[in-house]
Amino acid sequence: MSSAALHALEAAPAARPAPDDAASLAEEAARYAVLRRMGSAIRHQIAGSLQPVSMVASLLERRVQAPAPNMDALRRNCSEMNTLARSASSECVALMGWLAPHEGEQVALGAGVADCLHLLTTELSFRGFTVLDTTQAVHARVARLGLRTLVPACLMALTDAAAAPSQVRIEANAEGAVAHLSMVLVPAPDAEGAAQRAKAYRPLTWSDVTALAQAEGVDLQLGPQTVRMQFDVQPATDDKDVRWG
């Protein structure tokens, strides 16, 4: 290629993505940001599930090296380690569902919120936030992927934008074919100092949350320190339970 042609190519403006492409890129960027933020929690959960297996294996190794090993104790330890290994394997497979979710899975809304909080509550507490979850009694079934996508994203966006440590109150109810889920940021009366920023990756913005809601078909309403979501209630199916613990 001639130097004149190279110069013309460099001077030409870069092609802008089509509107649909731009929306898709925004959605993918938001999904990546959420997973990056949740990566440490998932890693910690996997390590925690494997730790009991390692402890029993160390105990078994010491007992085997004894001058006169207690065979009954060794058999019990082997059985315990087998049970723990199966449990750890199931938990790790379930956790991988956050990285490679299956389409069409359902979950009771309250149980799905609890799954999300199981991963996120500890990190939020380190940053000065507490969570009050009142959704346990809401059994309306919704799409697991949509819930797992929006609940963490909204929690992150709310707390990332907060200036001071606060409490996040989560409420839900179901009316016919729709289920409503709301999060409200309430200032903690005894909070001191500024809220700590998340250390992992970047803050989540409401533009991220909006892109994810549009992709998942979830109606979203934003207000001052409040977010409300509306999910379609799904007909009950015998889907596989992929929770852990």
Integer Cα distance of 112 and 58 in angstroms: 36
pLDDT digits (tens, 9 = 90+) for 141-158: 999 999 999 999 999 999
Percent of the chain with pLDDT over 70: 86
Q: What is the DSSP string of 46-92?
A: HHHHHHHHHHHHHHHHHHHTSSS--HHHHHHHHHHHHHHHHHHHHHH
Q: What is the pLDDT of residue 149?
A: 95
Rounded (10°) angle between helices 109-126 and 144-161: 30
Cβ neighbourhood burial of 26 (10 Å; 0-12, 13-18, 19+):
middle
Above 80 in pLDDT, residue 243?
no
List domains and CATH numbers for the chain: 23-96 (no CATH), 106-232 (3.30.565.10)
4-13, 32-41, 187-196, 213-222 — which is least confidently predicted?
Answer: 4-13
Mean residue pLDDT of the chain comes to 85
Query: 169 - beta bridge partners?
Result: 132, 184
Residues near 206 by Cβ (< 8 Å), separated by ≥ 6? 157, 161, 222
At 160, which amino acid appears? D
Above 50 in pLDDT, residue 92?
yes
pLDDT band at 6 (very low <50, low <70, confident <90, very high): very low
Q: What is the pTM of this model?
A: 0.79
Q: What is the pLDDT of residue 227?
A: 96
89-93, 193-197, 212-216 — which is least confidently predicted?
Answer: 193-197
Angle at 65 between CA 61 and CA 69, to 5 degrees: 100
Q: How far is CA 10 from the centre of its chain?
A: 42
- CB 106, CB 241: distance < 8 Å: no
Beta-sheet strands, E only, within 151-225: 166-175, 178-187, 219-223
pLDDT band at 66 (very low <50, low <70, confident <90, very high): confident
Integer Cα distance of 181 and 183 in angstroms: 7
Quick one: average pLDDT of 40-48? Answer: 87
CB atoms within 10 A of CB 70: 11
**Which of the pair, 7 or 229, is modelled with greater confidence?**
229
pLDDT digits (tens, 9 = 90+) for 117-140: 999 999 899 888 999 999 999 999
Residue 128 three-state SS = coil
Above 80 in pLDDT, residue 221?
yes
**Which of the pair, 4 or 140, is modelled with greater confidence?**
140
Residue 112 three-state SS = helix
Beta-sheet strands, E only, within 87-126: 106-108
Of 243, 217, 245, whose CA–CA distance to 230 is shortest? 217
